[in-house]
Amino acid sequence: MTDYFHLNAAPDEIRAISSLGLAHLGDGVFELMVRSWLCLRGKATARGLHRAAVQYVAAPAQAAAAGRILPVLTEEEADVFRRGRNASPHSIPQHASRAEYQAATGLESLFGWLYLRGETGRLNQLFALMMEE
């Protein structure tokens, strides 16, 4: 049985996934991390949690967060980010510019890629850098 919480997918399996596929997965990984982070910081009501989470997972916030980690990415991580950023999305949300949405997609691709590789330590490291005040 596959343990979907502790993945360590083979490099060939990961390469077979499109950048937008990685972004789809990474979106969920990032949102779970944000929700966990909020819960551990005392957000109590479901409404408060949802509103706070939306502020962090929206494309403009993700783009700003991506800017904070770009200088510390390895060459391989930066390549994954660039491929995700340069992927052609089907549409762009009204509340984000094209550049913000592309940067957010790059971030999500990177998080999906790291998750599939089982690199939870690196995910936590990057997430901590993004969430610093």
Domains of the chain and CATH, by start? 14-131 (1.10.1520.10)
pLDDT tens-digit map of 51-70: 888 889 999 999 999 999 99
Q: Are 55 and 89 in contact (CB under 8 A)?
A: no
CA distance 38 to 53: 7
- Answer yes or no: 79 catalytic: no
Q: Quick one: tokens of 14?
A: 């990961």
In terms of phi and psi (left: phi > 0; alpha: psi -120 to 50; beta: otherwise), the region of 18 is beta
* Cβ contacts of 117-121, under 8 Å, gap ≥ 24: 117/7, 117/8, 117/9, 117/14, 118/6, 118/7, 118/8, 118/9, 120/6
- pLDDT tens-place string over residues 61-99: 999 999 999 999 999 999 999 999 998 776 677 778 888
Distance between CA atoms of residues 43 and 24, nearest Å: 26
Catalytic residue among 3, 12, 27, 79: 27
Single out the residue of 105, 1, 124, 111 nearest to residue 63, CA to CA.
Answer: 105
